[in-house]
Amino acid sequence: MSILVLGGAGYIGSHAVHQLIDAGEQVVIVDNLETGHKEALHPKATFYQGDIRKIDFLRSVFQKESIESVIHFAANSLVGESVEKPLKYFDNNVYGTQVLLQVMAEQNVKQIVFSSTAAVYGEPKVVPIQESEQTKPLNPYGETKLTMEKMCHWASQAHGIKYVSLRYFNVAGARESGEIGEDHRPETHLIPIILEAALEKRSHVTIFGDDYHTPDGTCIRDYVHVVDLIDAHLLALQYLRDGGDSDVFNIGSNQGFSVKEMIHAAREVTGKEIIAKNGERRIGDPSTLVASSTKAKEVLGWNPTKTNARKILEDAWRWHVAHPYGYDKEGIKE
Ligand code: UDP
């Protein structure tokens, strides 16, 4: 039996595939390669190129392969873009998941682990955020992820599909071996942008707002190492295999760093100057997101060992130095 990884050519999905194969699992990947990279595909995984919204395509994969469970990463995930193009997000994230659940119900596949986000909380009332915090997304990205969670809830009631939703905080870093890493086009995430500035591929980093109600005025986020994040997926899969009930877990570090603090830490790790300039706030950004991941530790047995700002920056920096053009061998990455 195989694990079906949807979005297995993307940044987080490719890390999942590598760790699943390291753990001795058989893996089938589906990816439309819209944002994923074929260079990130694992040679031992079976790959189908296609879109999860195409029901005949998706059904054919389930019919050809013997799928035990699904890990679902195939979604758009940029807060800023989601504000500009909300319908794109509802189409890919919500409708894509609807088609997936329909095929899973038809094909009798009963286990799914999928990526949700801290963006479901909006501006939290209490920090660190627990799973019981109210969910009031401030942007379409968070809204689509919350809708995916609700759809999974009702599909689990009706069709017996068990799910684990992992609400990611800010994922960064890379596998230590350095063969895969973060390569978004265009890049919008803070850590790769800081490191591209360190590599002088950008003149500077723009700080999106320095007038938030935080100690230094810049937004506070909780950064989690991608390898620890994927460990949580493997544990969630085992939890479902052991008969665990559908549930939702925060995956973060329980520690907040401001944008300015991350830039400062990156200067120390890289030894580079990294010019930062203050800019406007980005629409849809909450000021502070810090997780309580106690539930994931207690219920799933999650034990993050790489999640600290320095280690995340060191591993991301190693990938960026070795792959200054991302997965391109040469040329200029946007
Ligand atoms: N950010 C920034 N400059 C950038 C990119 C991001 O100041 O060029 C800030 C952003 O406003 C947020 C934090 O860095 O407070 C993390 O943003 P990112 O896009 O990496 O992740 P998000 O929190 O949106 O998932």
Task: Note the pLDDT tens digit of each residue in 292-318.
Answer: 999 999 999 999 999 999 999 999 999
DSSP calls for 13-24: HHHHHHHHHHTT
- The confidence score (pLDDT) of residue 333 equals 47
Whether residue 152 contacts residue 101, with contact meaning beta carbons closer than 8 Å, is answered with yes
CA distance linking residue 255 with residue 247, whole number of Å = 23
Tell me, in angstroms, the distance from the centre of ligand 1 to residue 190's CA: 5
If you take atom 13 of ligand 1, which residue's CA is the nearest one? Answer: 190
Rounded CA-CA distance 104/71 in Å is 12
CA atoms within 13 A on the CB side of 193: 17
Q: What's the pLDDT tens digit per position in 229-254? A: 999 999 999 999 999 999 999 999 99
- pLDDT of residue 285 exceeding 60: yes
The closest alpha carbon to 97, from 169, 138, 146, 131, belongs to 146
Angle, alpha carbons 223-225-228 (nearest 5°): 130
Q: What is the mean pLDDT of residues 249-277?
A: 97
pLDDT given for residue 254 in this prediction:
95
CA-nearest of 109, 144, 146 to 131 is 146
**Each residue of 68-77: pLDDT tens digit?**
999 999 999 9
Environment class of 69 (CB within 10 Å of its CB; exposed 0-12, middle 13-18, buried 19+): buried
Give CA–CA dist 124/256, Å, rounded.
Answer: 14
* CA pseudo-torsion sign 217, 289, 172, 282: negative
- What backbone phi and psi angles, to 5 degrees, belong to 16? -65, -45
What would the pLDDT profile of 27-68 be if each residue is shown by its tens digit? Answer: 999 999 999 999 999 999 999 999 999 999 999 999 999 999
State which of 12, 187, 190, 334 you would mutate to test the pocket of ligand 1, scoring each by most atoms of that ligand within 8 A of its C-beta.
190
Taking residues 84-113, report their average pLDDT: 98
CB of 190 shorter than 6 A to ligand 1? yes
Q: What is the pTM of this model?
A: 0.96
Please state, in angstroms and rounded to a whole number, the distance separating the CA atoms of residues 104 and 216: 47
Q: Mind listing the pLDDT tens digit for each residue in 159-206?
A: 999 999 999 999 999 999 988 999 999 999 999 999 999 999 999 999
For 210-236, the pLDDT digits (tens) are: 999 999 999 999 999 999 999 999 999
The CA-to-CA distance between both ends of the chain, in Å, stands at 40
Tell me which amino acid residue 265 is. A
Query: What pLDDT is attached to residue 330?
Result: 59
Q: Name the token pair of 295.
A: 């539930």
CA of 333 to the centre of ligand 1 (A): 19
Mean pLDDT throughout 138-156? 97
Q: What are the structure tokens assigned to 73, written together? A: 């990463």
Q: Which is nearest to 187 in space by CA: 319, 94, 289?
A: 319
- Written as six digits, the tokens of 31 are 């990816």
